[in-house]
Amino acid sequence: MTVSDQRAREAFVALSSTLVDDFDIIDFLDRLVDCCVEVLGVTAAGLLLVDHRGTLNMVAASTEQAMIAELFQLQNHEGPCLDAYHGGEAVLCADLAGASDRWPNFVRAAAGAGFAAVHALPMRLRGTVIGGLNLFSARQGALDPATVEVGQALANVATVAILRQRSARHGDVVVEELQAALDSRILVEQAKGVLAERLNTTVEKSFDLLRRYAHASSVPLAELAAAVVDGSADVALIAATDVRPA
């Protein structure tokens, strides 16, 4: 597996162009994990952030499958992302089947979800690790070093984006930014639920609608989510984005 220079370049240009002015952190991180799948040639990708309890929380995933969420959750006990978080180094596992001694539960769940290889890249900030980027592949085999490098660069971009949410008023304190990113995710999840019920559709579909409408109307995703939850957003209008080409 190797990453194409051209695609990597395009991906970074696209990402950096959204990293200006009033960007929405959840929208940005979701684009970033989609970009990982496309550019790095992996099957699925997700970002985990560590909260004040030391718990790894999923803040973005390239797929809405419950199984993926479970794989992230499991890593609060064992798994590559937990190891990458504690060690501060990338954890590369080209063949999950050979790692059952190391992570028995994670390997079983990953195999059940159809994954054969996993790579976990730490999100580093100065001396600390604030989370990790998880890359899952359906086929076994190591990502080549150049691809891992691009993956790590994407993880670094995610770190910068999260910390850029607020200006550096408080110096070393990142608690506000982490809390804001985690909370933004929760707000979006609530909005997905409200919209799914209003439109009688799935949460996956309603997330798609929310993102499309946010882009089309240039409203930050979190702001739109808040309006959906408090009932002030026009749900019919959001549903109508469905019929327009993306």
**Site residues for other proteins per CB under 8 A:** 51-53, 55, 57-58, 66, 69, 73, 76, 170, 173, 175-176, 179-180, 182-183, 185-198, 203, 225-226, 229-230
Distance (Å, whole) CA 32 – CA 12:
9
| Nearest CB to other proteins, comparing residues 89 and 176 | 176
| Nearest CB to other proteins, comparing residues 46 and 151 | 46
Q: What are phi and psi of 128, to 5 degrees?
A: -115, 165
Residue 186 CB, nearest approach to other proteins (Å): 4
Residue 78 CB, nearest approach to other proteins (Å): 13
Residue 197 CB, nearest approach to other proteins (Å): 4
* 10-to-38, 195, 222 alpha-carbon distances in Å: 11, 33, 26
Diameter of the chain measured on Cα atoms: 52
| Nearest CB to other proteins, comparing residues 19 and 235 | 235
Residue 59 CB, nearest approach to other proteins (Å): 9
Distance (Å, whole) CA 225 – CA 228:
5
* 69-to-59, 61, 93, 176, 238 alpha-carbon distances in Å: 10, 8, 19, 24, 26
| Nearest CB to other proteins, comparing residues 8 and 60 | 60
